A and B are shown apart, each in its own frame.
Chain A
């Protein structure tokens, strides 16, 4: 059977959704694999939505907004880009980054909308069905990504990125983009591992040794994550079993 991918699109009301309508008015023909969710602004697309979409069977997800400088809400598309970049970085950790796309499509670009959807559909066809379907291991990882992206640390970093790198803080300091990205990439890795730790605890993988083996991380790093998660009051020491401390998720 021919593989027909399931593609989810998030379209901003003012530009891309209007562009999609114009494609209709102009009878531009494109593959019928995309299902559209309308949002007012591409900046509304919470990264959680994208991880969720992959967990329920999406083969590809595309976010579309207004061209830079054309945002109906002034700068919402820039925020969308920051959120999208984080999502892409997270997905890269599990090799899903070729299944997402961010595109700018204006209300007048009906033909381009059709071309973008056609091209993205082909990209997903080439990539094949999402390996996450009925794959416990990958679903576990996607869930961990969703949790990691939802932490206040990641959300604050994304929300403040433009402020931190483009404006000065109250002390007149500005963080360079390189420095910011360094911190950001480290945070991505850490939070993904911590989310996996949390999810593993639920499954009874509850001491440093077991966690290190399951997640393939150095035990000393696992311990660091556990201490930070304890500080955040997400986990606690349970009991000592055979000289090994056991942790529980709160």
Chain B
């Protein structure tokens, strides 16, 4: 290949960053010194390399000196590498032939009192950067076609919202629900906080919108059987009534929700006189609550050793239902036994205030002294009184948490996405990518991730749909070029031991029909673990090759490979 024979011509641009770097070390003399490094044919110091002038100087430098590798010694690659990469790309130099040397964030800013040492450190870092640059290879981003279709798994309120949003944007959308009816928990709820709207009303309006939408296909009593492929091009099998339908899907949204927890063995739960909030919802819905002494117990089966999390919706559900009982029968006594009450925001706090005003009694209990549900009374220890309070009841309502679905594991395995310790789905990053999975092209919303209420489910449904549409609103997508690969010249090194398959977190590595290792570049994220593990050093991590890193190490020790 001509690229290998081509003379390596490196240009080094040392940035003053105003006085951020230049105020501490002599950038001009560093630029002069860099001329002595192997393969360096041009150096320059700039006041601000990232400015219009600075970029113009890089372009001029590249053109006048036929540079085929460019180094900028400045702030940090985490903010400015894309800018310089595209700058040299405009001059016809492959963007991967750019190398960044960090002499500000990790040098002049942190050694302000030792400028002489920072000066020496900058030189050594540049020498290491030059050594790596000499070994850099041009890479191409891969372009993949995308299919403008979406799959939403789970037709609860989050899933329906996401599916409607996708369909309304014009994407062919498939909504899969394992139950016979869509609507999820809306089917069992009475009223919804904070509007006190009937759940059935919202469900009816959602169903109508789903039915009227021509872009949306609903599969009830159905499940996803298999998922293969990758972002933009998933191959899906949906099973419904024994029939299997195959689809090509661009993006997937997981909205499987969560399950109700049955508190068997807790507080004498019997489903009759001692029920859960979900069961109370059904009674309220059917106008069957006749009790005049109601005791609700919060945090039943949550915030304990085996289930550490707060289910987040139960406080509000209890307040809403307590108010509902009081509204229908103002003479009813409603007592809520709680550990902590969680009513964030103005609307929810207002519910608490209204419940207090309506005469709902709140009694705190400590987890060390749990309330005891006896035959006709509840015994709760009050720390302030230093004694037990006895509350007569004809209905005990247990506020139980939403728990993760049992089949989450199967779905997670098919999608190659992780679950957290409680079996809920784990997003890519809690703050930076809350609706994404680490696996590209797969998104998450609603209680599948964590128990959330209807309001939040709707918001998340829209959010996931908007994230998903950023992918399929383009006909193609670019995939990072700096990935792992098993180059042809290394094929004979591969022993087929499959350790790479074991360590790859993205299932990007598999064996093809000829029993040969196949790395799917579009699935690979370039972490490099496979290369560092490969038992016979056959896998190459592009842009972070052994050769490139070793040359940096040698330069660190003052040695230059091949000079």
Tell me which residues across on chain B come within 8 A of A38, comparing CB atoms: 77, 102
Query: In the complex the two chains form, what is the Cα distance from A72 to B428 in whole Å?
Result: 8
Answer whether residue B204 sits at the interface, using C-beta atoms and an 8 A cutoff.
Answer: no
Pair B553/A52 contact, Cβ less than 8 Å: yes
Pair B529/A79 contact, Cβ less than 8 Å: yes
Pair A37/B552 contact, Cβ less than 8 Å: yes
Query: In the complex the two chains form, what is the Cα distance from A39 to B118 in whole Å?
Result: 22
Pair B124/A35 contact, Cβ less than 8 Å: yes
Pair A35/B125 contact, Cβ less than 8 Å: yes
Query: In the complex the two chains form, what is the Cα distance from A190 to B499 in whole Å?
Result: 22
Pair A48/B78 contact, Cβ less than 8 Å: no
Query: In the complex the two chains form, what is the Cα distance from A163 to B534 in whole Å?
Result: 15
* Cβ distance B547 to chain A, nearest Cβ, rounded Å: 12
Tell me which residues across on chain A come within 8 A of B506, comparing CB atoms: 73-74
Using a Cβ cutoff of 8 Å, how many contacts connect chains A and B? 155
CB-CB contacts below 8 Å: A46-102 with B:
46, 48-49, 52-53, 55-58, 72-76, 79, 83
Pair A41/B527 contact, Cβ less than 8 Å: yes
Pair B499/A32 contact, Cβ less than 8 Å: no
Pair B110/A30 contact, Cβ less than 8 Å: yes
Pair B105/A40 contact, Cβ less than 8 Å: no
Query: In the complex the two chains form, what is the Cα distance from A79 to B554 in whole Å?
Result: 25
Could you tell me how many residues of chain A have their Cβ less than 8 Å away from some Cβ of chain B? Answer: 51
CB-CB contacts below 8 Å: A1-46 with B:
4, 6, 8, 13, 17-18, 20-21, 23-25, 27-30, 32, 35-41, 43-46
Contacts A35-B128, A45-B532, A53-B557 given: A20-B505 contact, CB under 8 Å? no
Answer whether residue A216 sits at the interface, using C-beta atoms and an 8 A cutoff.
Answer: no
Pair B549/A39 contact, Cβ less than 8 Å: yes
Stretch at the interface among A152-160, A176-184, A204-212: A152-160
Stretch at the interface among B54-62, B349-357, B536-544: B536-544
CB-CB contacts below 8 Å: B88-133 with A:
102, 104-107, 109-114, 117-118, 120-121, 124-125, 128
Answer whether residue B533 sits at the interface, using C-beta atoms and an 8 A cutoff.
Answer: yes
Answer whether residue B434 sits at the interface, using C-beta atoms and an 8 A cutoff.
Answer: no
Answer whether residue B497 sits at the interface, using C-beta atoms and an 8 A cutoff.
Answer: yes
Query: B78: which of A6, A18, A160 is its contact (CB, 8 Å)?
Result: A18
Contacts A35-B128, A46-B546, A57-B557 given: A21-B78 contact, CB under 8 Å? yes
Pair A27/B109 contact, Cβ less than 8 Å: yes
B residues with a Cβ closer than 8 A to A are 76-78, 102, 104-107, 109-114, 117-118, 120-121, 124-125, 128, 418, 438, 482, 495, 497, 499-500, 502-503, 505-506, 525-529, 531-537, 541, 544, 546, 549-550, 552-554, 556-559
A residues with a Cβ closer than 8 A to B are 4, 6, 8, 13, 17-18, 20-21, 23-25, 27-30, 32, 35-41, 43-46, 48-49, 52-53, 55-58, 72-76, 79, 83, 114, 150, 152, 155-156, 158-160, 163
What are 23 of the A-B contact pairs (CB < 8 Å)? A8-B553, A18-B78, A20-B105, A23-B105, A32-B111, A40-B526, A40-B527, A40-B528, A43-B503, A43-B527, A44-B527, A44-B544, A49-B550, A52-B550, A52-B553, A53-B553, A56-B553, A73-B438, A73-B525, A74-B438, A79-B503, A152-B495, A163-B502
